[in-house]
Structure 1
Amino acid sequence: MPYHWTPGQKKKHRTYPKLMQPINDTLPDLTPLTSGSNRPLQMTFEDQINILVYFHLEEHQSGRHLLQVLNENHFARQYVAPEKGIQKSSFFEDISSRGLEQMLELFEKLYVKAARQLPKGHAELGDMTLIDGSLIDAVLSMYWADYRDGAKKAKVHIGFDLNRGIPKKIFLTDGKGDERPFVSKILSPGETGVMDRYYQRHKSFDDWQAEGKHFICRIKASTKRNEIRKNDVQSGGIVFYDAVVLLGTP
């Protein structure tokens, strides 16, 4: 019987389970994924997360390409694919309509574990969180589905822990979802949010201060400013203007 050897394959067999260990340790703590009908699930949430991780690691071109690999590749069949395999129709239905609740729970629990182990940089600046929203245009079927720039998009709203260099909170909306309401959901009292000028809304500034939340936000150059008190700045320093101001029209 011929023996096939692929360079690096043995190392991959050892590395992949180790990579997935933090996820596998967390799975028992998640809300169970159940079928919404009388049909049994074709794949568990564990199967789903394994497949999605593998998809991004291997950079497959499409969902169809991924399914082909899951059926034909020995490593993928052993470590990634559902034990009994999965049909194309069931695969795309499950990927697009199930597991979001479990995915968000998994994200939150993994952040808590990672935050305990990673060093906290720039602690003297307090807890700093970068906040931004981005359209998602990468889907498993994007190479063959009808996918246009102006339609069928989702938006992800992320809070990124600048002290530890990892994302900490995530929210999903449709592509037209406003980003500013998520600042209050992402920031906790005492934390400082770092945002681009899209988040500029003076009423929101007042609300965040009332909630005990700090923020650094770029503002438009044309913004009206009524100077209340001007503070001294160090000559030649990085801060060229420091003042307490009232933004907008009183």
Structure 2
Amino acid sequence: MKGNTHKTCLKQYEVDPDSIIFYDAKVLLGQPGAKQTRKPLRLVGYVVDDVKYWVATDRFDLTAEDIALIYKLRWEIEKFFAWWKRHLKVYHFIARSKHGLMVQILSGLITYLLLAIYCHEQHGERVSIKRIRQLRIQIQNELRELENLAPDPNSARTPHSEPLHASP
């Protein structure tokens, strides 16, 4: 939220001068008579690295510090998913349940870590699309070789592979 957004203060809460919080109040946002919120909101202003942030919420049960922390953590989550999309090329989730999402996230992270270890140990470099393509081709070639070495399923059976028959 922008700091210059019009707000009507209904009640201002006390703020500790040593805190990162510089504003904490129950407000109505917007111009009166225009598009003003009907329901009061909690407006928290806080500073991190000399940058002011404003957060509007309906959570009156939390401290202003908790609200600021939650908002900061939200941005950490946003940064994680930006990294996820950039490095793992995952643009949407397949799973819809909590456990399914966790499996998809952990699978992606494990895959990336294995790729990072491979690229570092084999090539002394970071993960790149070039190395991923080379690895995919190498795996495909090794699978073809294994298929060529595998016994033909249509060939004669060995004595140990004969089906068991019940005696009369």
**TM-score interval, smaller chain:** under 0.3
Instruction: Write 1 or 2 for the structure with the bigger share of helix.
Output: 2
TM-score by length of 1: 0.17
Give the number of the structure with larger relative contact order, counting CA–CA contacts within 8 Å between residues 6 or more apart. 1
TM-score relative to the length of structure 2: 0.23
